[in-house]
A and B are shown apart, each in its own frame.
Chain A
Amino acid sequence: MKPAFSVIFLTTLIGAGQGLFLALFGADLWAPPSARADLSALLVHGSALSLLLCAAGLIASFFHLGHPERAWRAAAMWRTSWLSREVIALPLFMATVAAYGLLHYVEAGSTQASHALGWVGVALCLTLFVCTAMVYASIRFLQEWASPLTLLNYLLLGCASGLTLATAVAAVQLQALQTPYALAALVLTFAGLLNRVASLARNARLVPKSTLQSAIGIKHPRIVQKAQGFMGGSFNTRAFFHGKGLRWVAGVKWFFLMFAFPVPMLLLAVGLSTDSGASLWAAFVLQYAGLLAERWFFFAQARHPQNLYYQAAS
């Protein structure tokens, strides 16, 4: 598939925003009494940041559309379409985060109100993760995507980047939470690495179900395409192939395997041991860059069966 940058930004930005919200609500639930005093400021600023990330993702997604002015129509088919469900879940989640942040900003609500709203946010957050991942995992003939590992990948990487961001925010706002956040970020990043390596191993062993033989229904071992029906390219040659060489793709893979996982883990560890906020922020920025590469690779690796029909031009 051709990596769509609007979608790459959408999924990575809202993933980080969702992870950050989970981190905030985790602190709201379980923060030690010593950290309670300044918690409210962290929750307000964190919610604003989470909202900002989701809004940026939402804006990025509009660039994917041919007719962004009709985007509201995309909420119609939630009964059958995961994309439609995502379109509904994202604004609902954003509204809940906004309400949650506002509640702590005006300091009006009780703890119960905050927790109730937070649990609604958690439910919407997890729903959104499932919807986003299922947009890809539900297409059965994109075999690289059609796997529960895809679901886990979106969940774990979103949470990992969100927790890394929460660590960086805590370094500025509430140092008492820096260590628990960093530990959670380390665990989630490592789990994300294990899951991503598992999906890479799975995809490396995939045998495409469709072949040129099944594509044109002629059972001969040697079929060579001589013409695809046009010479100047078409939507079919533009939208389903990344157009890069194998070395570039392998380079992107090693880049994300380094920068999405071990590099931020190292920086988190360094940041914790030396108490360096800069190192923690660098961990988030580099992990985000790594996740952009991860998402690019996620698209590039998926081999669409329609490409079988577009092997040669003349």
Chain B
Amino acid sequence: MTQLALVIDLNVCVGCHACVTSCKQWNTSGSAGALEDFNPYGKDPNGTFFNRVQTYEVGEFPSTQTVHFPKSCLHCEDPPCVPVCPTGASYKRAEDGIVLVDYDKCIGCSYCSWACPYGARELDEERKVMTKCTLCVDRIYDEDIPKAQRKPSCVIACPSNARLFGDIHDPESVVSKAINERAGYQIMPEWGTQPSNHYLPRRKSEITIHPEDLERVDNPLKIDGQQPHYPTHMSTREDHST
């Protein structure tokens, strides 16, 4: 059984919001209709987004870390939003585990958004239906797109490669390996929703610098104190180099 998901590396996310804007661009241009934009250039810009990047400060000054935290639907393996839907508009696909909303069946009652502890769903105020991340289902299977680009829009946009995409049920996939090797974790595990999206934790970056890395130990000057002879009438390697 396939369970497609994102794995987000908090260690390299720089909080640039490229995933947010590319997500909006792709999903507002699809056949499902434009995502609401209210006052986009005005005082309180407002609208529907499937993906947001939040920023947290962890620790006490001066030992603080800034953590950028991208947040979208986690495509839970046991999604609490699906069974509460009275119309069946919210569903989880059996073939790849993507949680989707059928916009033609949704009555806009918002009950599924109450039943999502992550706040991953947003009611589109213009279309009056519940919307959420589709994992770019209209892109990842599109054979008109070059194979390398058949990934969610946010994954392709990420400049620091903080977003990985794949099947977390396949132990050989890049996402499973990242989760296993780099302690990928789920958020709010206390509710038993088993989110498919995982996060990779921050890591301490340490390098060891030995004295000989900074100073050449076999420097002839260190041996006998003799200055080297510079050839004065010959062309040197540098003279031919450019």
B2 on the interface (CB 8 Å rule)?
no
Do A222 and B58 form a contact, CB below 8 Å, given A81-B84, A140-B191? yes
User: A73 touching B87 by the CB < 8 A rule?
Assistant: yes
Tell me the complex Cα distance, A214–B191, Å. 11
A305 (CB) vs chain B CBs: closest residue: B117
User: A135 touching B111 by the CB < 8 A rule?
Assistant: yes
User: A74 touching B48 by the CB < 8 A rule?
Assistant: no
Do A65 and B108 form a contact, CB below 8 Å, given A235-B123, A240-B119? yes
Taking a contact as CB atoms closer than 8 A, the residue among A66, A140, A227, A236 that contacts B55 in the complex is: A227
B232 on the interface (CB 8 Å rule)?
no
Do A64 and B119 form a contact, CB below 8 Å, given A210-B190, A226-B55, A232-B39? no
B69 on the interface (CB 8 Å rule)?
yes
Chain A 204-246 interface residues, beta-carbon cutoff 8 Å to B: 209-210, 212, 214-218, 220, 222-236, 239-240
User: A304 touching B119 by the CB < 8 A rule?
Assistant: yes
Tell me the complex Cα distance, A200–B58, Å. 34
Contacts of A187 in B (CB 8 A): none
User: A83 touching B109 by the CB < 8 A rule?
Assistant: yes
User: A80 touching B84 by the CB < 8 A rule?
Assistant: yes
Contacts of B185 in A (CB 8 A): 217
User: B69 touching A216 by the CB < 8 A rule?
Assistant: yes
Contacts of B53 in A (CB 8 A): 229
User: A239 touching B113 by the CB < 8 A rule?
Assistant: yes
A79 (CB) vs chain B CBs: closest residue: B83
B115 on the interface (CB 8 Å rule)?
yes
User: A306 touching B117 by the CB < 8 A rule?
Assistant: yes
Q: How far is the CB of A313 from chain B (nearest CB, A)?
A: 10
Tell me the complex Cα distance, A233–B125, Å. 13
Contacts of A231 in B (CB 8 A): 44-45
Tell me the complex Cα distance, A307–B188, Å. 13
Q: Which of B52, B82, B86, B114 has the most CB of A within 10 A?
A: B86
Size category of the A interface is: 35 or more
Contacts of A190 in B (CB 8 A): none
B125 (CB) vs chain A CBs: closest residue: A235
Contacts of B39 in A (CB 8 A): 232
A138 on the interface (CB 8 Å rule)?
yes
A148 on the interface (CB 8 Å rule)?
no
Residues 271-309 of chain A, each 1 if its beta carbon lies under 8 Å from chain B, else 0 = 000000000000000000000000000000000111101
Q: How far is the CB of A137 from chain B (nearest CB, A)?
A: 12
Contacts of A233 in B (CB 8 A): 44, 46
Q: Which of B45, B116, B188, B191 has the most CB of A within 10 A?
A: B188
Do A223 and B58 form a contact, CB below 8 Å, given A81-B83, A216-B69? yes
User: A230 touching B45 by the CB < 8 A rule?
Assistant: yes
User: A228 touching B52 by the CB < 8 A rule?
Assistant: yes
User: A139 touching B105 by the CB < 8 A rule?
Assistant: no
Besides A87-B86, A229-B17, A309-B118, 5 other A-B contacts (C-beta < 8 A)? A66-B110, A216-B69, A225-B54, A235-B123, A305-B117
29 contacting pairs across A/B (C-beta < 8 A) = A64-B110, A65-B107, A66-B107, A66-B123, A67-B108, A73-B89, A74-B87, A74-B107, A76-B86, A81-B86, A81-B111, A83-B84, A83-B109, A87-B86, A135-B111, A139-B115, A209-B191, A210-B188, A229-B49, A231-B45, A232-B43, A235-B121, A240-B119, A304-B114, A304-B117, A305-B117, A306-B116, A306-B119, A310-B119
Interface residues of B (CB under 8 A from A): 17, 20, 39, 43-49, 52-60, 66-67, 69, 71, 80, 82-89, 105-111, 113-119, 121-123, 125, 127-129, 185-191, 199, 201-202
